[in-house]
């Protein structure tokens, strides 16, 4: 209705303000504009919730009890929810600088187990070694490796001048050069302690936290050199609460397949680079998807606009071949434009103002679409930056699968307590049942073939099993060629969804 459209327009305007401060607007006026728009959105949500039970359910965060989660788990499965916590020194009454990782393992008809994985710093060092091994393994096919995992910001960000500036990389703790044993070491410290709690479960739903969001669990290797995906069926959840309502029947899809590819980002540099290969994928993907009389559509180049994507209504499969982005703290327009404070009061004011937009990570990540490199010159509603907050308001309740195959769309904000990356959470909130995304650029031929095979297999298999079988095909191919299959080539994709193992 009208009020819902007004709410979506307000969310879009807030996203536009966060990404680009109008050049003539002073800092205080900008801060008040952000606060005013936030109040307007909150008031709109309250009105909708009061007027409609359906809207109230849509706006209400999901919750689930332990008994409900156990009931919703598939047979022969387990949920592993990782949590990074800070330690408290009771002797002195203060929080320690150190932290720990815990894993809560929930098994259907068995119960819940708590596994202490130890010091967070040490475990994350093992994770960084493993991620560097993955990165280095991509060099075997002659392609340059991606930026170091865990050291990423957005490919580009809007600036107050209207130009697009590069984002400063986040500082990361330096680690020693990786060995061929890094993935085995991470298996020993991260996965082996879980084995007793997992028992005979062979379907594992993973909900990572902290740096573990960047870990390709499928590529962890045991002492015999076997990848985890060769032993287990794996899928991800944004959180255990995603199991709530997972048994409901989705509405009928609006179309069979919608492919968004190679958006015309614009010529401003540095910025988002073109993706011509994604446009060529259309024929293969369309051939792999059985239409059953359904409509197959494309939005390519200049047609791949923000407004066109937001208007999408629940295609069965939504393929978004574009760049993901995330604005780090250094990229904040509010932070960078704040006046230099010489007093404690001034610094506090800046900190509180900046915190207002940092409270919602859905505003700071999203997808780049047509016009993203020149977003300050775009018309209202078509600035080219589709934020996760706007994605969360899309109608995807009839969508069985969203695919994000391009640059590092699985990467987002690593923050203790968030528990999810914003893009993952956004598509769950929009109603999509399953989500395939990449943890690093998947531009090699092996990954391209794997994605096509995934589509073919997903016509008859549950999505998690379709991805697993496609990955196993890639492993066999690479074993024959290299002996040890390079994980950087075969393990970029992860599959998220409470329905990943089937209805």
Which 3 state secondary structure label does DSSP give 242?
A: helix
pLDDT at 69: 83
Average pLDDT over residues 30-40: 72
**Per-residue confidence band for 160, with pLDDT thresholds at 50, 70 and 90:** very low
Concatenate the DSSP letters of all residues of 144-161 into one string. PP-SPTT----S-EE-TT
Q: Which one has a higher pLDDT value, 184 or 251?
A: 184
324-326: strand order across its sheet: 324-326, 365-368, 385-387
Q: Residue 428 — φ and ψ, nearest 5°?
A: -65, -45
Neighbour-count burial of 181, counting CB atoms closer than 10 A to its CB (0-12 exposed, 13-18 middle, 19+ buried): middle
Arithmetic mean of pLDDT, 215-235 = 95
Q: What is the mean pLDDT of residues 375-394?
A: 74
Please say whether the beta carbons of 279 and 261 come within 8 A. yes
What mean pLDDT is reported for the chain? 77
pLDDT above 90: percentage of residues in the chain: 39
What's the pLDDT score for residue 221?
95
pLDDT of residue 23: 61
205 or 334: which carries more pLDDT confidence?
205
Apex CA 265: angle with CA 260 and CA 269, to 5°? 150
Per-residue DSSP letter, 190: I
**pTM as predicted:** 0.77
Residue 206 near residue 236 (C-beta atoms within 8 A): yes
Give tens-digit pLDDT for 181-221. 999 999 999 999 999 999 999 999 999 998 898 899 999 99
Is a pLDDT exceeding 90 seen at residue 462?
yes
- 284-312, pLDDT tens digit by residue? 888 888 766 567 899 999 999 999 999 99
280 band by pLDDT with thresholds 50, 70 and 90: confident
What's the whole-number mean pLDDT along residues 50-78?
A: 68
Distance CA 237, CA 497 (A): 6
CB within 8 Å of 324: residues ≥ 6 apart: 365, 366, 367, 368, 404, 406, 407, 408, 409, 410, 411, 412, 423
Residue 414 pLDDT exceeds 50: no
Cβ contacts of residue 379 below 8 Å, gap of 6+? none
- H or E stretch covering 310: helix 306-310
């Amino acid at each position: 209705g009208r009020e819902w459209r007004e709410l979506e327009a307000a969310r879009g305007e807030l996203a536009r303000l966060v990404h680009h401060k109008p050049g003539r607007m002073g800092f205080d006026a900008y801060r008040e504009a952000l606060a005013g728009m936030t109040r307007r959105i909150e008031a709109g949500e309250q009105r909708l919730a009061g007027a409609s039970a359906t809207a109230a359910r849509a706006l209400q965060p999901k919750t689930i009890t332990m008994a409900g989660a156990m009931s919703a788990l598939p047979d022969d499965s387990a949920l592993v929810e990782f949590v990074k916590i800070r330690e408290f020194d009771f002797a002195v009454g203060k929080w320690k600088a150190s932290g720990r990782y815990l894993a809560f393992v929930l098994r259907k008809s068995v119960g819940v187990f708590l596994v202490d994985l130890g010091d967070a710093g040490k475990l994350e060092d093992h994770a960084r070694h493993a991620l560097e091994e993955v990165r280095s393994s991509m060099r075997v096919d002659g392609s340059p490796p991606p930026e170091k995992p865990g050291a990423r910001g957005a490919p580009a960000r809007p600036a107050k001048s209207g130009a697009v500036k590069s984002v400063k990389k986040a500082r990361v703790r330096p680690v020693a050069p990786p060995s061929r044993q890094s993935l085995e070491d991470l298996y020993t410290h991260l996965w082996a302690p879980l084995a007793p709690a997992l028992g005979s479960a062979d379907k594992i739903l993973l909900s990572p936290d902290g740096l573990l969001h960047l870990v390709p669990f499928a590529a962890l290797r045991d002492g015999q050199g076997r990848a985890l995906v060769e032993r287990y069926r794996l899928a991800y959840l944004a959180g255990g609460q995603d199991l709530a309502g997972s048994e409901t029947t989705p509405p009928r899809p609006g179309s069979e397949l919608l492919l968004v590819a190679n958006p015309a980002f614009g010529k401003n540099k540095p910025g988002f680079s073109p993706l011509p290969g994604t446009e060529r994928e259309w024929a293969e993907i369309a051939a792999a998807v059985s239409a059953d009389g359904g409509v197959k559509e494309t939005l390519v180049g200049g047609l791949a606009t923000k407004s066109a994507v937001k208007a999408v209504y629940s295609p069965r499969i939504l393929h978004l071949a574009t760049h993901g982005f995330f604005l780090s703290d250094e990229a904040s327009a509010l932070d960078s434009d704040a006046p230099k404070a010489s007093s404690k009061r001034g610094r506090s004011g800046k900190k509180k103002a900046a915190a207002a937009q940092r409270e919602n990570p859905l505003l700071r990540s999203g997808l780049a679409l047509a016009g993203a490199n020149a977003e300050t010159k775009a018309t209202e509603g078509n600035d080219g930056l589709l934020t996760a907050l706007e994605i969360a308001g899309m109608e995807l309740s009839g969508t069985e699968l969203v695919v994000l195959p391009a640059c590092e769309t699985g990467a987002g904000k690593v923050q203790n307590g968030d528990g999810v990356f914003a893009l993952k959470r956004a598509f769950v909130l929009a109603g999509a049942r399953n989500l395939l995304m990449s943890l690093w650029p998947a531009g090699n031929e092996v990954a391209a073939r794997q994605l096509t095979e995934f589509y073919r297999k997903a016509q008859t298999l549950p999505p998690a099993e379709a991805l697993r079988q496609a990955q196993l095909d890639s492993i066999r191919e690479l074993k024959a060629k290299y002996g040890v299959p390079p994980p950087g080539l075969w393990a970029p994709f992860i599959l998220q969804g409470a329905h990943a193992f089937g209805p």
